Amino acid sequence: MHDFGPSIHRQLTDLEIKLEANRCLYCYDAPCMNACPTHIDVASFIAKIAQGNLKGSAHDILSANPMGASCARVCPTSELCEGACVYAKDDTPIRIGDLQRYAIDALMRSGEQLFSPGAPTGKKVAIVGGGPAGLSAARDLRVYGHAVTIYEMHDRLGGLNTFGIVPFRLANDVALWEADYVVQLGVDVETGVEVGVDISIDALLQNHDAVILACGMGGVPSLGIEGDDFAWDALDFIEHVKTGRRIGDLGDRVAVIGAGNTAIDALTCAKRLGAQRVTMYYRRGEEHMTAYDFEYAFAKDEGIEFRFYCAPVRVGRGEVTFVRTEVRDGKLVPIAGSEFTETVSAVISAIGQSRLEQTLKACGVETDDGVVRVDAALQTTRRGVFAAGDCIYAKGQREAMVVEAAEQGKLAARSVDAFVRSKAVA
């Protein structure tokens, strides 16, 4: 596998950890905890680090968030816990993400299992998709004592953590350790199984007391322009990278279409693969980018170039033609006669993710624009079928996040637990 260089996360020294952990004020009902979608008791886990109780610290983190290892690497902490830190106003928030990584890294080294399955209830739950939402639900359902089977279409668990996040941000050993840590609790895993194709939801419902859909989203949608089949799907590109599959020669001049966090991953990955010039093209302006500020800053540091207000109109062999755009009367429109052609050796499209409409249709759940419709308890329109994670992520919210998926997995597990127990009474 290609050497992608150092992780973007520098391991803090023991001295740094000591100073940082002790700098935490141990706020009451702390803002960081309330800013975390999974409500990790941050003040408590940091105090435990400060007191040398790394095992207790890791338990604080993972009990609230089974995806604590990956979240310590991929969470937009400046938007969440660190952004809410009482020191954030002075631009010196506690480095919560780094501290969380320290505590979980210690657990990864010790290998100690801090959780145990609950007394068997005799209830069986099927989870469709072994990504963050599915794994999170599986962990809690096992703790509740239910039998759990995860149906995963890939050959490995972890979902986007394993396949969709660049290795220098989240290495596979972390994503796979995290999945295995859940599986250790006695989760059955069926890999290479696509629900709706290899097995029907009706079959799942026959053999289980409830089903959780945590199948995420699909690949990058087509650009819908001439020659778009020349373009890489950014997620497919990253999956190739993560699984060590051959990418071929990207050449020296890579264009990435899109301005979200996956675009940043594709850009920086292409750069670290050796491309000389890697440029982001975005049809809107810098201020509209959906990538986090820190991601954008990271891309700049990596030497990425940026072109704003230009939309692709045609992909050809070795070139992409763009048209300049502008905002007129509040609408983004192409500027007539402004077309220009860039010589490129590869094009990667990162303009978002499509919805798994076929799968969801096969599951017989209602959707809105491809988003599974759920109630407050995350139950779909089909009784006994719940949903969590990116498949219920509706546009217009903040970015889809691992931590949000983890929280939804927990919520779905809680709802399923109530559901299967009430079935027992009835």
Partner 1 sequence: MADLRSTLAGISSPNPFWLASAPPTNSGYQVMRAFEAGWGGVVWKTLGTPIVNVSSRFAGLDYKAYKMLAMNNIELITDRPLEENLREIRECKNAFPDRAIVASLMEVCERQAWHELVKRVQEEAIDGFELNFGCPHGMSERGMGAAVGQHPDLIEAVTSYVKEVARVPVIVKLTPNITDVRVPARAAAAGGADAVSMINTINSLMGVDIESWDPIPSVNGKSSHGGYCGPAVKPIALNMVNDCARDPQVNLPISGIGGVEVWQDAVEFLLLGASNVQVCTAVMHHGFRIVDQLIDGLDNYLDGRGLASVEALVGAAKNRITTWENLDLNYQIVAEIDQATCIHCSKCYIACEDAAHQCIDRNVVDGTAILTVDQDHCVGCNLCMMVCPVDDCITMLRVDNGLPPESWKERSSRINV
Q: Please name the residues in contact with 375: beta carbons below 8 A apart, sequence gap of 6 or more.
A: none
CB of 213 to partner 1, least distance (A): 31
Q: Which residue, 93 or 117, has its beta carbon nearer to partner 1?
A: 93
Q: Which residue, 22 or 110, has its beta carbon nearer to partner 1?
A: 22
Q: Is 134:159 a contact under the CB 8 Å cutoff?
A: yes
CB of 50 to partner 1, least distance (A): 7
Q: Which residue, 31 or 56, has its beta carbon nearer to partner 1?
A: 31
Q: Hey, what are 193's tokens?
A: 């199984």
Backbone angles phi, psi at 277, to 5 degrees: -115, 120
Residue 327's CB is within 10 A of a number of other CB atoms, namely 12
Q: Is 161:70 a contact under the CB 8 Å cutoff?
A: yes
CB of 32 to partner 1, least distance (A): 11
CA distances from 158 to 166, 257, 273, 274, 424 (A): 13, 26, 24, 27, 32
As a residue count, the chain comes to 426
CB of 203 to partner 1, least distance (A): 45
Interface residue list for partner 1 (CB under 8 A) = 18-19, 22-23, 25-31, 34-35, 50, 84, 86-87, 89
CB of 27 to partner 1, least distance (A): 4
Q: Which residue, 49 or 348, has its beta carbon nearer to partner 1?
A: 49
CB of 415 to partner 1, least distance (A): 26
CA R_g for the chain: 22
CB of 56 to partner 1, least distance (A): 15
CB of 83 to partner 1, least distance (A): 11
Q: Which residue, 52 or 120, has its beta carbon nearer to partner 1?
A: 52
CB of 90 to partner 1, least distance (A): 9
CB of 22 to partner 1, least distance (A): 4
Q: Which residue, 89 or 246, has its beta carbon nearer to partner 1?
A: 89
Which residue, among 161, 195, 166, has the nearest Cα to 180 in the 3D structure? Answer: 161
Q: Which residue, 22 or 343, has its beta carbon nearer to partner 1?
A: 22
Q: Is 179:69 a contact under the CB 8 Å cutoff?
A: no
Q: Which residue, 49 or 264, has its beta carbon nearer to partner 1?
A: 49
Q: Which residue, 34 or 341, has its beta carbon nearer to partner 1?
A: 34
Q: Which residue, 86 or 362, has its beta carbon nearer to partner 1?
A: 86
